[in-house]
Structure 1
Amino acid sequence: MAIETISRQGWFSRLKGAFFGILFGLIFVAGAAALQFWNEGRTLRQARLLEAGRQDVVELSAMGAESRRAGGLAYVHGELRADGQRLDPEFNQVAEGLGLRRRVEMFQWKERKETKEETSVGGSKTTRTRYYYEQVWDDELIDSDRFQEAAGHQNPERMPFESQTWKVEKASLADLQVEPEVLSEVGGWRPMAPQADRLPGNLAASLGVEADRLTTVNGEPQIGDVRIHFERLPDGPVSVVGRVQGDRLGVERRELGELLLLERGEHSAEQLFSAAESRNSGLGWAIRVGGFVLMWIGFGMVFGPLAVFADILPFLGRLTRMVTGLISGVLAGLISFVAIASGWLYHRPWLLGLIVIAIAGLIAWIGLRARKPTPLAPPSSMPPPPPLS
């Protein structure tokens, strides 16, 4: 069953709101341009850091005792292992390896809405919003007090159990002790069947095992029922590029930034650097495109009053939005190009200097060509015509 609400807004009120939107549109445009400019520096610094690391990295076995005492960038691969077990003290669940994770889902009401807007002659707008309510499993608490129709769709005020993670603080790789900031980069969580025989008595009475998880469901799920999943982070082979100093493996810190590359499995140092360069390039392009979209939205807000003004005749308002949308896209593209290009050149001053010198040379050459006098035509060597008889 859906609930529908209807709201109406007059033309003058819409126009006033659109003028306020100009300020936010300009903020969007300026913020997007600044983001794109900054991104060029970030991408270049990361690329230089990876290139320098590629040149400096050495195999752990190639580091002598003196080099290890001084510290340096090294490539290490082998079995990453941790002693002991990880324990969930509330559910008394244990796991071998690097970590144990508990993820809790609760059966709750969720609100979904669909909005339809209609513009009438004269510029007023009618908004029809339909609210739908469905029951879903979610690992985040949904606040039902914010629902349009809270009556009959109440969720519990808190989760009966919290999601938690327990990870080791010490582990070994080859003959090295791995620092916690390196361990935090290790992924590869795997599902773990719950150990029902280890549950405390009070929980064993209220929880059952279903499809490798604990649950309070008995028949059809009811609002407030929970499902509890357990996952473990196993030991296993990893490949790492990081700072080795003595018997410690940590993060390499340089003026350009921090360098730590880690992947599950056996990978060469070259493969680790290539993957990192690909991620850096992908992130750079994602920020460029995101800045362009944000700028397009911003220009759309700047031109918003024109569309609202034209809404006095709805078909004219739709046409105006199409035109201003196209103009906004063109402007966003042009300014994005300027922001990206200026950031690219700003962080490469040597190239900027070459371009300035080339432009100055071209201007000087054109000036000299303009001042050079045009040579006079040479006198004709043809004999004069014979006299008329």
Structure 2
Amino acid sequence: EVFRVEHAVIGRFSVAPDQLLFMQPDQLNLSGDIILDGRIEEEYLFIGAGSLGRPEIGDLRIQFSTFENDQEVTVFGAQNEDRLQPFNGPKDSVLYRVYPTDRESAIDAMRTEFLTLLWSFRAGGIAMMWLGLVTIVSPLTNLIGNVPLVGGLGRSAAAIVALIIALVLGTITIIISAILNSVVAMIVILLLLLGGFFYWRNQQVKGG
């Protein structure tokens, strides 16, 4: 079970540790002069009759994590007087986290996280599409598999064709999604379509 302090301060702003997404904390090095009960075993404070390797019922193993003071961090959230609280964005998104770096580097880190997650979903979608296509044609490939000499080739060819189709459909989906999520791209596509339409009309008039 993880326990966090109820109150924390970053700079001159108070934050809610139970809601704030922190960076990776540092492990507190325990020493005998700060221990009032129990004993130190490896990186843990152990309280009980057993040992770290052979605990008994009722024993406690406690580990402490801390954040270094006087370090540069960037917090993203909503300011409310002297407090920083979660920022509620569109589509039920919530931004409330801290990065151990300056603002520009923190924004770059968030952009990298977003792109990594986005392309992971895209790659996963293409992989699922490929598996679905392979499953659809599996009865046919199983039938071809009974034919001598060409059975193995049929399965391999079907898998390759399914992969190509999945890549093409996935690429088209990604392009359409990018266009629909970009106002500039939609305007450019609309202008190109209008230009193509008027060019076609002019050619029709000249031909008539």
TM-score normalised to structure 1 length = 0.43
* C-alpha distance after superposition, 1:304-349 (max 9, x if no partner): 1111112224643321111111111111011112211222222235
Q: For 1:229-248, list aligned pairs within 5 A.
A: 230-236=62-68, 237=71, 238-248=73-83
C-alpha spacing 1:229/1:307, structure 2 compared with 1 (3 Å): farther
Structure 2: 5+ residue runs without aligned partners? 32-37
Q: Which residue of 2 aligns with 1:196?
A: 39
Give the whole-Å Cα distance in 1 for the aligned partners of 2:142 and 2:12: 69
The AA in structure 2 aligned to 1:278 is T
Q: Which residue of 1 aligns with 2:95?
A: 259
Q: State whether structure 2 residue 21 is matched by structure 1 residue 187.
A: no
Q: Counting strand residues as a fraction of each chain, which structure ranks higher?
A: 1
The AA in structure 2 aligned to 1:327 is V
Structure 1: 5+ residue runs without aligned partners? 1-163, 208-213, 218-227, 375-389
The match for 1:269 among 103, 113, 123 is 103
Give the whole-Å Cα distance in 2 for the aligned partners of 1:174 and 1:342: 44
C-alpha displacement of 1:260: 3.0
Give the whole-Å Cα distance in 2 for the aligned partners of 1:373 and 1:336: 40
C-alpha spacing 1:243/1:262, structure 2 compared with 1 (3 Å): same
Q: State whether structure 2 residue 163 is matched by structure 1 residue 334.
A: no
Q: Is 321-330 or 352-361 further displaced after alignment?
A: 352-361
RMSD (CA atoms): 2.9
Q: What secondary structure, in the 3-state scheme, does the structure 2 residue paired with 1:284 have?
A: helix
C-alpha spacing 1:325/1:301, structure 2 compared with 1 (3 Å): same
C-alpha displacement of 1:176: 2.3
C-alpha displacement of 1:271: 1.5
The match for 1:178 among 15, 22, 26 is 15
TM-score normalised to structure 2 length = 0.76
The match for 1:324 among 143, 158, 162 is 158
**Share of identical aligned residues, percent?**
19
Q: Counting helix residues as a fraction of each chain, which structure ranks higher?
A: 2
CA contact (8 A) 1:253 1:259 kept: yes
Structure scoring higher RCO (CA < 8 A, sep ≥ 6) equals 1
Q: For 1:33-52, list aligned pairs within 5 A.
A: none
